[in-house]
Amino acid sequence: PAARVRGMGTSIFTEMTELARTTGAINLGQGVPELPSPPALLRDVADAVLAGHNQYPPAVGFPALREAVAAHQLRRYGVAYDPVGEVLVTTGATEALAAAVLAFCDPGDEVVAFDPCYDAYAADARLAGATLVPVPLALDGDHFALDADALRAALSPRTRVLILNTPHNPTGKVFTPAELAEVADVCRTYDLTVITDEVYEHLVYEDGVRHLAVAALPGMRERTVVVSSAGKTFNTTGWKIGWVCGPAPLVAAVGAAKQFLTYASGTPYQVALARALGSVEEWAAGLRGTLRAHRDLLGTGLAAAGLRPFRADAGYFVQADVRPAGYGNGVDFCRELPGRVGVVAIPTSAFYVGSDAPTWLVRFSFCKEASVLEEAVRRLAALA
């Protein structure tokens, strides 16, 4: 195989889901939602299929979905995008991220991202012949914080792109207004292109915490490509419908790569999502209520099992310190967990590109039915 894929192996998610399958354990590893989708959305997909929306959509996406995405960005973040030229529909956020990194990085370039990070970022950099330079988030008690000095120290003349994931996987962190202002300042000063991964934008659980779009900050719209996706918002991760918003020249560059990765996909889903996105707030409020309760259920269970759960303001995951339960590190803990109590989790160290991983942290997902989490919590209690 070519150097760009040599040693890439299989993703941690595939590995852990396979482990859950072979051991029969409850899978709190991969963040796959096992929660319902809006019934009207499902009916609309069926109707779209039966109405004959089964051929290639335009490569840039079904027009009504591009209009719905633009309206969503304006309504929620006050940032205007032209649905013609400034919005591009992709095969999930995954393709959007890959196409964006391919579009902006030449071989030898550097991409900075906050560590820990979603596993695709380093892989995308590598596919482009670039390198991901990790900037460790600082551990601050039971949560993570921006270390602006570490960010500045990570920059070099080869730095082209900063990937910002907020709300953040795996930590559940939502970058604060002050942190975003710092990040934006660095990006303007060093003339970086920003790729924001906002797939958890609707899944923020704390009343005092809000997801803010970095593209809305002064001088940022023109250098930012916003990536999001329908997967987490509507519990439709298998549909792989995502999108990109940004200024026309940047979106054109992403589209140039995207057209030769998949050209286009998911016509009936695009048709149906155009409508669902128009009233997403109502749906998301209910989903947030469910996920907030599930986060609390899991967090309480982890504490009762003798672990120390971290704060998770958003997203699908709670991290826990496994040392209070007598484990030296998360890898050993996760290796033994299926056999010992019948649960699969992922060591947070698997999300680190750099060497600063807190080896004692483990990620558990709570995007499951309450009955599944209740059973997982019952099983985990055997650890105490």
Q: Which residues bind ligand GLN (CB under 6 A)?
A: 11, 13, 30-31, 169
Give 346: exposed, middle or buried? Use CB within 10 Å, 0-12, 13-18, 19+. Answer: buried
- The Cα–Cα gap between 175 and 343 comes to 30
Partner interacting with residue 30 (select from ligand PMP, ligand GLN, none; CB below 5-8 Å by kind): ligand GLN
Residues of span 71-100 touching ligand PMP by CB under 6 A: 92-94
CB 50 to ligand PMP: min, Å: 25
* Of residues 231 and 255, the one with the C-beta less far from ligand GLN: 231
Site string for ligand PMP, 102-131 (x = CB under 6 A): ----------------x-------------
CB 67 to ligand PMP: min, Å: 20
Closest CA to 33 of 207, 205, 290: 290
The strand pair at 131-136 and 317-321 is best described as unpaired
**How far is residue 48 from each of residues 135, 233, 269, measured CA to CA in Å?**
44, 20, 8
CB 335 to ligand GLN: min, Å: 18
CB 327 to ligand PMP: min, Å: 26
353 binds ligand PMP per the rule CB under 6 A: no
CB 324 to ligand PMP: min, Å: 27
- The Cα–Cα gap between 71 and 83 comes to 9
* Of residues 27 and 165, the one with the C-beta less far from ligand PMP: 165
CB 317 to ligand PMP: min, Å: 9
* Of residues 192 and 337, the one with the C-beta less far from ligand GLN: 337
Cα dihedral sign, 32-34-40-43: positive
Single-letter code of the amino acid located at 237: T
* Of residues 323 and 363, the one with the C-beta less far from ligand GLN: 363
* Of residues 44 and 201, the one with the C-beta less far from ligand GLN: 201
Give 106: exposed, middle or buried? Use CB within 10 Å, 0-12, 13-18, 19+. Answer: exposed
169 binds ligand PMP per the rule CB under 6 A: yes
- The Cα–Cα gap between 303 and 325 comes to 10
The number of residues that bind ligand PMP (CB under 6 A) is 14
Residues of span 35-64 touching ligand PMP by CB under 6 A: none
* Of residues 250 and 367, the one with the C-beta less far from ligand GLN: 367
Give yes or no for a contact between 191 and 221, defined as CB atoms under 8 angstroms apart. no
- The Cα–Cα gap between 374 and 297 comes to 8
Give CA torsion, residues 306, 310, 311, 314, to 10 deg. -110
Partner interacting with residue 197 (select from ligand GLN, ligand PMP, none; CB below 5-8 Å by kind): ligand PMP
CB 188 to ligand GLN: min, Å: 30
- Give the residue, chosen from 61, 83, 116, 231, that forms a contact with ligand PMP under the rule CB under 6 A: 231
229 binds ligand PMP per the rule CB under 6 A: yes
Please list the alpha-helical segments (H only) found in the chain: 12-23, 39-50, 63-77, 92-104, 120-127, 148-154, 177-189, 231-234, 248-261, 267-278, 280-304, 330-341, 370-380
CB 13 to ligand GLN: min, Å: 3
Token pair of 5, please? 């894929």
- The Cα–Cα gap between 200 and 33 comes to 12
- Give the residue, chosen from 44, 109, 124, 197, that forms a contact with ligand PMP under the rule CB under 6 A: 197
Phi, psi of 287 (to 5 degrees): -65, -40
Partner interacting with residue 165 (select from ligand PMP, ligand GLN, none; CB below 5-8 Å by kind): ligand PMP
Helix (H, G, I), strand (E, B) or coil at 262: coil
* Of residues 135 and 346, the one with the C-beta less far from ligand GLN: 346
237 binds ligand PMP per the rule CB under 6 A: yes
DSSP code for 353: S
CB 19 to ligand PMP: min, Å: 18
Residues forming contacts to ligand PMP in the complex (CB under 6 A) are: 31, 92-94, 118, 165, 169, 197, 199, 229, 231, 237, 240, 242
